Amino acid sequence: MKIGDKIEDFEFNAYHNGNFTKGKLSDYKGKWVVLFFYPLDFTFVCPTEIRGFAKHQKEFEKENAAILAASTDSIYSHKAWFERDLPEVEFPVIADTNHKISEQFNVLQDDGTALRGTFIIDPDGYLKYLVVSDNNVGRSIEETLRVLKALKTGELCPVEWKPGEKTLH
């Protein structure tokens, strides 16, 4: 998978706002999608990132973006963890127990967990941004939001560009 690729539609089971739900990527056609993978429920770094996305969710929504989280844990594990430790999370958390989505996005590790991958998909389903990192280091949600805003300009954005600043022509 590389930047500019059309992302093949996928179906998923998720834990979302206290319920088990089904969905597919194409449900979000017309919206930007920020899909992020994390290794496991009940871990140390993961809840800091998940809380970070939850804290900024309204800002993503203002940008016409939906947040989707994913790990290879089950929906039952998600339910137990999110109800106990992360009740503020309002976005769907995908249970990729068959590893198809993690494989599709090339973040599946040999032990069956996912690497920390962040993917921004445009409203037409094309991959515009991807970052995959070691599981020991949490990602920057503010940087993900900045990149989303930059992508939405359709312009050339210089280093450290922020909304309201000039783009390059």
Q: What are phi and psi of 156, to 5 degrees?
A: -85, 120
Q: What is the pTM of this model?
A: 0.95
State the average pLDDT over residues 12-26.
97
Residue 169 above 80 pLDDT? Answer: no
Q: Is 46 a catalytic residue?
A: yes
pLDDT at 46: 87
State the average pLDDT over residues 101-115.
97
Token pair of 35 as six digits: 């899909």
Mean confidence (pLDDT) of the chain: 95
Give the rounded distance of the alpha carbon of 104 from its chain centre.
14
- Identify the helix (H) or strand (E) that includes residue 142: helix 141-153
Give the E-state strand segments of the chain in sequence order.
11-16, 19-24, 32-37, 65-71, 93-95, 116-121, 127-133
pLDDT at 124: 96
Q: Which residue in the list 33, 34, 35, 46 is annotated as catalytic?
A: 46
pLDDT at 129: 98
- The top-scoring range by mean pLDDT among 19-23, 39-43, 44-48 is 19-23
Q: Is the dihedral of CA 69, 72, 74, 79 positive or negative?
A: negative
Domains of the chain are 11-153 (3.40.30.10)
| 100 within 8 A of 9, measured Cβ to Cβ | no
pLDDT tens-digit map of 42-86: 988 888 999 999 999 999 999 999 999 999 999 999 999 999 999
